[in-house]
C-alpha cells in the first residue's frame, strides 16, 4: 500500500513539474511575442555598433507635410559635418541651438540630431539651410521616411519538406554556378558579403553568420515569425553541406556573411526612417567592409505603390538625393561596393521607381545592379510575368514561379518557438542573391576590380537566352568569373 501511495505522489509530482514546464514555455513564447511587438512600438531602441550609433524615432513623431505630402520625423535633423570643422566646435554649435546628438555614422560624419519641440517640414528645411550657411554642416535636411516591403510574391511560407530538397537547386544550375566554383576553387581568401533584409534566423543549421546581424528581429509588424531574410541569406550563402540541406551561391570557406535587419529599425509597420536605412548600409559597407550587399527589398511601401501607379511618390523622390549622398560618401572614404537589388514584382510599375534604382549619380548608379526574375518550367527558361519591367533592369536571375525557389527558412515549432526549416518562395527577392553570389565570386577572382567593373562584367556576360525576352538575359556566373580571370591575366 505504501508503494502505491508513493507511486501516486510521484505521479502527481511529475504532472506538476510538466505543467509548470508547459506554463514556463508558454510564458516565454508570449513574452517573446510581446517583446517583439513592443520593440517596434516603443521607439526607444538605441543601436550602438563600433563608434557609430542610431536611435529609432518614436512613431508619435511621424508627420506628413501638407504641401508636399512628404513623410518625415518632426523633431529631427540629419547633418553631414564639414571635414574641416573640429568636433568640439560642431558640438558647441549644436548645444547653442539646442540640438542633441542621438545617432552618428562615424565613417562619413553624418549626425542624427534631436530637437526640442516639433517642427513643420518647411521649418526643418530652414534650420538645415541655416546650418549649411553658417558652415556648421556641408549638408543637412529632415529625417524623411520610406516604406519597406519584400520583393517576394509569397504570402505565406510553406514548408518544402526534406524530400523536396536538392543539394544543388535548379537556380544554381541555370546560372552555371558550378562552373564559377571550379574557376575560383583554391582561392583561400574570403570576401565579406552583406544582406539587408527583414530579419534572420541565426540558429538555422544551414546558415553561418560572421556575427549576429545588426538589429536582428524575426517578427513582422503583426508579431508573426517571418522567413524572407533567412530565405534570401540561404540562396546566397547556405553552408553547402549536403548532410544539412542546400547549397548557397558562395562556398562557406570563401565568404564572411553579415546581416542587417530592417525589422529591428522599423518605426511603425512598414515605415523606416532614412537614418535607420543608412545605418544598415553603414554597418555593412563601411564597418564590415562588405564588398557585395544584397537588397531584396523594395524601398516603397504598399501605399507608395498605389501612388506610383498614379505617377507620384514624394517620399521616394525626396529619398533619392539622400541615398546618392550617403553612397557617394562611402566611395569618398574608400569603401567600394556593389549593391544587387531586386527589381520588384509589380509588372505595372517600372523598376526605376524604386529610390535605389532611380539614383542618377554615375559613380553610384554603376554600382547598383537591378535584377529581374526568370522562371523555369519543363526545361524552358523565361522572364517571369510578374517581374517589374524597364530599362533600369540590368539582367535576370532565377526568381521562380509557384514558390519553387527552395531555401532556408524558419518555422514555428513547439509552442511557436522558431526552428530551422526549408521553404519555397518566388519573386525578384530570390533572383537578387544569385547575382550577389556571382558578384562575390568575380571579386574573389580579381580583388583589384572596382565595384563598377564587377557590375560591367556581370552585365556583359549575361547572355543565357530567355524565351520571351529579347532584351535582358540570364546571369552566367561561370562566364563572368572566367572573364574576370582572363582580364586579370592580360
Q: Among 44-53, 120-129, 156-165, 411-420, name the one with the lowest average pLDDT.
A: 156-165
According to the model, what pLDDT value does residue 11 have?
A: 67
pLDDT at res. 304: 58
Domains located in the chain, CATH noted: 46-145 (3.30.70), 149-489 (3.40.50.200)
Cα–Cα distances (Å) from 452 to 8, 67, 285, 425, 477, in that order, read: 75, 38, 15, 30, 17
Question: What is the rounded CA–CA span in Å between residue 395 and residue 381?
Answer: 14
Which candidate in 197, 220, 404, 446 is catalytic? Answer: 197
Q: Is the per-residue pLDDT at 308 higher than 80?
A: no
CA geometry: angle at 276 spanning 397 and 369, to 5°?
20
322-355 b/e (C-beta count within 10 Å ≥ 16 → b): bbbbbbebbbeeebbbbbbbbbbbbeebbbbbbb
Residue 407 appears among annotated catalytic residues: no
Predicted pLDDT at 448: 98
Please identify which of the residues 228, 231, 261, 270 carries the catalytic annotation. Answer: 228
- Complete DSSP assignment for 217-242: --B-TTS-B--HHHHHHHHHH-B--T
Task: Please state the separation of Cα 251 from the chain's center in Å.
Answer: 21
Q: What's the confidence (pLDDT) of residue 379?
A: 84
Q: What is the mean pLDDT of the chain?
A: 89
Question: Would you place residue 20 in the very low, low, confident or very high pLDDT band (cuts 50, 70, 90)?
Answer: low
Q: When comparing pLDDT for 377 and 439, which is higher?
A: 439
Check residue 26 and give its pLDDT: 52
The Cα 316–Cα 300 span in angstroms is 7
Query: Out of 152, 239, 429, 436, which one is annotated catalytic?
Result: 429
473 within 8 A of 460, measured Cβ to Cβ: no
Residue 228 is among the residues annotated as catalytic for this protein: yes
Indicate whether 127 pLDDT > 50.
yes
- Residues 336 and 325: their CA atoms lie apart, in Å, by 14
Top-confidence range, 115-119, 264-268, 379-383: 115-119
Q: Clarify whether 197 is annotated catalytic.
A: yes
**Quick one: pLDDT at residue 41?**
34
pLDDT given for residue 149 in this prediction: 80
User: Structure pTM?
Assistant: 0.89
pLDDT digits (tens, 9 = 90+) for 234-274: 999 999 777 778 999 999 999 999 999 999 999 988 899 99
Amino acid at each position: 500500500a505504501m508503494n502505491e501511495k508513493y507511486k501516486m505522489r510521484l505521479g502527481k509530482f511529475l504532472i506538476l513539474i510538466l505543467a509548470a514546464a508547459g506554463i514556463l514555455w508558454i510564458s516565454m513564447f508570449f513574452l517573446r511575442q510581446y517583446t517583439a511587438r513592443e520593440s517596434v512600438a516603443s521607439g526607444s531602441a538605441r543601436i550602438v555598433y563600433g563608434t557609430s550609433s542610431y536611435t529609432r524615432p518614436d512613431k508619435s513623431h511621424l508627420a506628413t507635410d501638407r504641401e508636399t505630402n512628404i513623410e518625415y520625423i518632426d523633431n529631427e535633423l540629419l547633418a553631414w559635418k564639414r571635414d574641416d570643422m573640429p568636433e568640439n566646435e560642431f558640438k558647441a554649435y549644436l548645444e547653442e541651438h539646442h540640438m542633441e546628438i542621438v545617432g552618428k555614422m562615424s565613417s562619413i560624419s553624418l549626425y542624427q540630431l534631436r530637437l526640442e519641440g516639433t517642427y513643420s517640414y518647411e521649418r526643418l528645411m530652414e534650420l538645415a539651410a541655416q546650418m549649411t550657411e553658417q558652415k556648421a554642416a556641408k549638408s543637412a535636411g529632415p529625417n524623411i521616411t520610406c516604406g519597406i516591403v519584400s520583393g517576394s510574391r509569397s504570402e505565406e511560407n510553406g514548408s518544402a519538406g526534406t524530400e523536396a530538397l536538392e543539394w544543388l537547386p535548379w537556380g544554381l544550375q541555370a546560372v552555371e554556378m558550378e562552373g564559377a566554383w571550379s574557376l575560383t576553387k583554391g582561392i583561400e581568401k574570403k570576401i565579406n558579403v552583406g544582406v539587408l533584409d527583414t530579419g534572420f534566423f541565426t540558429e538555422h543549421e544551414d546558415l553561418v553568420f560572421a556575427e549576429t546581424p545588426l538589429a536582428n528581429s524575426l517578427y513582422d509588424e503583426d508579431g508573426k515569425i517571418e522567413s524572407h531574410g533567412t530565405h534570401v541569406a540561404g540562396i546566397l550563402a547556405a553552408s553547402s553541406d549536403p548532410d544539412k540541406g542546400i547549397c548557397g551561391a558562395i562556398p562557406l570557406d570563401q565568404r564572411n556573411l553579415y546581416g542587417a535587419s530592417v525589422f529591428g529599425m522599423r518605426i511603425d509597420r512598414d515605415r523606416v526612417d532614412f537614418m535607420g536605412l543608412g545605418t544598415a548600409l553603414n554597418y555593412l559597407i563601411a564597418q564590415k567592409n562588405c564588398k557585395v550587399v544584397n537588397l531584396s527589398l523594395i524601398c516603397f511601401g504598399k501605399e507608395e505603390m498605389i501612388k506610383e501607379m498614379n505617377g507620384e511618390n514624394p517620399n521616394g523622390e525626396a529619398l533619392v538625393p539622400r541615398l546618392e549622398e550617403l553612397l557617394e560618401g562611402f566611395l569618398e572614404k574608400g569603401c567600394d561596393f556593389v549593391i544587387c537589388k531586386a527589381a520588384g514584382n509589380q509588372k505595372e510599375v517600372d523598376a526605376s521607381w524604386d529610390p535605389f534604382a532611380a539614383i542618377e549619380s554615375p559613380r553610384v548608379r554603376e554600382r547598383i545592379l537591378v535584377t529581374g526574375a526568370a522562371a523555369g518550367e519543363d526545361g524552358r527558361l523565361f522572364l517571369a510575368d510578374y517581374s517589374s519591367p524597364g530599362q533600369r533592369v540590368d539582367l535576370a536571375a532565377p526568381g521562380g514561379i509557384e514558390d519553387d525557389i527552395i531555401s532556408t527558412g524558419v518555422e514555428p515549432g513547439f509552442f511557436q518557438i522558431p526552428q530551422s526549416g526549408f521553404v519555397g518562395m518566388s519573386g525578384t527577392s530570390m533572383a537578387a542573391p544569385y547575382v550577389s553570389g556571382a558578384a562575390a565570386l568575380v571579386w574573389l577572382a580579381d580583388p583589384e576590380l572596382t565595384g563598377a567593373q564587377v557590375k560591367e562584367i556581370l552585365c556583359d556576360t549575361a547572355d543565357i537566352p530567355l524565351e520571351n525576352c529579347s532584351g535582358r538575359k540570364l546571369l552566367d556566373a561561370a562566364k563572368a568569373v572566367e572573364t574576370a580571370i582572363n582580364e586579370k591575366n592580360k
